[in-house]
Amino acid sequence: MRGDLSEWLPEDTEAYVSFVDEIYRNDAYHSLSIEGYRVTPELIDRVCAGDWNPDNQEADRQSRDALAARGYWQAFRLVRAAVREILEGNQAGALVRMAHRDWYRELFQSCVAAGLVETSTLAGYRNDAVFLRGSRHVPPRREAVRDAMPALFDLLESETEPSVRAVLGHWLFGYVHPYPDGNGRIARFVMNVMLASGGYPWTVIRIEDRDVYLAALERASIDRDIGPFAQFVADRVARSSERAA
């Protein structure tokens, strides 16, 4: 991957953002599926089109999958706006430092409205310990999160290589695991915002790659070997670049 020079940002911002719009259904399907939600392209399209009515449709109000799809769409719109700001010259690390809390709130606002999640969970970082199913990695204690997150964003702001920001941003966000839920989705948002800062296309991590993906993250977190995860991201970016060409 290449260095962080402004001339490498795409000349046509609208074409870049249009590609982000085009890939949304695919991205939402795979990102939600990786987290265990049972979504379909049809459900994602319905939510995106606004054909979602929790006030009059009991299924929409109670469906964990529909609520997750709605939250993803709401958060994605904010991330898309962040991508546009970065393409217009804003600093990616500083922007994500401020914006990631809003992404988290949008992910779960629909669940709060449906009464499935306590409003207090949207107030800030987690207040309890978390344990990751199937992983040997234990995220830092809740007391450490308040120091770890500013350190993470300091790193992203000081790092000049966008590909490094993308890899480290994704891995370290998941390593700290600052929220009770939604960390994987936000980590992938962080990755794509950082990729945009280097002119790389929005990149989807597919459900078919879940085992390899999680194994690479596990190796980075447990063995302190980030090489496999960096290669994994590079390979997926290359695939996305072919599609965007």
Give residue for tokens 């800030």. Answer: 124
Task: Calculate mean pLDDT across residues 116-123.
Answer: 87
Chain centroid, CA 214 distance in Å: 15
Q: What is the pLDDT of residue 110?
A: 87
How many other C-beta atoms can be found within 10 angstroms of the C-beta atom of residue 86? 22
Of the chain, the percentage scoring pLDDT greater than 90 comes to 78
Q: What is the pLDDT of residue 2?
A: 43
Q: 117-122: long-range contacts (C-beta < 8 A, 24 or more apart)?
A: 121/180
Chain centroid, CA 177 distance in Å: 12
Structure token digits, residue 167? 């890899």
Find, among 143, 117, 4, 125, the residue nearest to 64 by Cα. 117
Domains in the chain: boundaries: 10-123+132-244
CATH class of 10-123+132-244: mainly alpha
Question: Each residue of 17-54: pLDDT tens digit?
Answer: 999 999 999 999 999 999 999 999 999 998 888 776 65
Residue 117 confidence (pLDDT) above 90: no
Residue 159 confidence (pLDDT) above 70: yes
The pTM assigned to this predicted structure is: 0.93
Contact 174, 229 (CB under 8 A): no
Coil, helix or strand at residue 172: helix
Type of residue found at 19? F
